[in-house]
Amino acid sequence: MKKRLRLKPVRTTIQIFFFILILLISLGHSLEEAGVTIPLIQGASLHAVCPFGGVVSLYQYITAGSFVQKIHDSSFILMILVFLTAILFGPVFCGWICPFGSIQEWVGKIGRKIFKRKYNRYIPGKIDRILRYLRYAVLLWVLIMTAVSVKLVFADFDPYYALFNFWTGEVAVTGLVTLGVVLVLSLFVERPFCKYACPYGAVLGISNFFRIFKIRRKASTCISCLECDATCPMNIEVSTAKNVLDHQCISCFACTSDDSCPVPETVQFSSFNVVKVSEETSPAETKETKNEN
Ligand code: SF4
Ligand code: SF4
């Protein structure tokens, strides 16, 4: 039998690496004042490594003909890289790199230990589905307000910025409050900011509709154990999907046969449909859902 590759430790290592990198970049100024310089990241700033800064500045340029203050060229390069990876693999930035997504996940591990299977299941499905479109409203608000003010208006509410700058005295009270609320909510709901409020997640989530490499489930070998549903941080019903096309998928691959699905080669990450037409009926009858195509 083909040996299974375990993705979880690889993903955790990458998340820790980026979390420490962003933390060191944020601490850079304070450390430099104390006479400590870190080679390679000397002079880097949080604004320079924020791909969302590139998005709002580009929008600002298109609508008003000027770039947003504080945005660096590196933000544009990162924005292009993140978009290219999203077209290929979906929002891997959210699932593997974003340190604010990672910290919500790590706090969520405590919640999962306390509340066990009830964790991440507190909000009724109907309300939850509506709330998930809130992040598009936030995105619209950020774009309009940025174009009007020529400033990164979201910075005053941004919990990511607050997390990596709370010691500087530059963070608005609204940012600190948002950070506190998100971290407390993460004890009950997995990645609440990603699900309901992140404007960048909203942009990247659209890639799920056309990404080249998709999460695909082979119904003929599925044993309906529902492990994939229980593991998905974004509460997506992978167990009834043929191809996951949900706008909330963060490409964490936790549902795949390389992670939680106990049956080899049943949930796969692939650019082509691994399921033959003759194999499509199974004990777990595949429902026609918005997760399929
Ligand atoms: S569907 Fe799979 S890859 Fe997408 S968020 Fe859920 S567990 Fe992660
Ligand atoms: S796809 Fe895998 S994890 Fe999901 S219900 Fe089927 S066998 Fe279980």
Of 232, 272, 237, the residue nearest 252 (C-alpha): 232
Q: Grade residue 53 by pLDDT with cuts at 50, 70 and 90.
A: low
pTM score, whole prediction: 0.84
Cα of 10 from ligand 2 centre, angstroms: 22
Q: Which of 3-17, 82-96, 148-162, 235-249 has the lowest mean pLDDT?
A: 148-162
Q: Is 146 in the pocket of ligand 2 (CB under 6 A)?
A: no
Q: Is 110 in the pocket of ligand 2 (CB under 6 A)?
A: no
Three-class DSSP category at 270: strand
The 10 Å CB-count burial string (b at 16+, else e) for 30-45 is: eeeeeeeeeeebeebe
Domain locations in the chain? Answer: 8-207, 213-293
Amino acid 19: pLDDT: 94
| From 4, 260, 261, mutation site for ligand 2 pocket: most ligand atoms within 8 A of C-beta | 261
Q: Name the residue at shortest CA distance from atom 3 of ligand 2.
A: 261
Kindly state the tokens that stand for 105. 């996940």
- Per-residue pLDDT of 78-133, as tens digits, reads 888 888 999 999 999 999 999 999 999 999 999 999 998 889 999 998 999 999 99
Q: Are 120 and 32 in contact (CB under 8 A)?
A: no
Cα of 254 from ligand 2 centre, angstroms: 12
Ligand 2 atom having least distance to the Cα of 225: 8
Give me the helix-helix angle, 8-33 and 99-115, nearest 10°: 120
The answer for residues whose C-beta is within 8 angstroms of residue 259's C-beta and 6 or more apart is: 6, 7, 8, 231, 253
Question: Residue 251 pLDDT more than 80?
Answer: yes
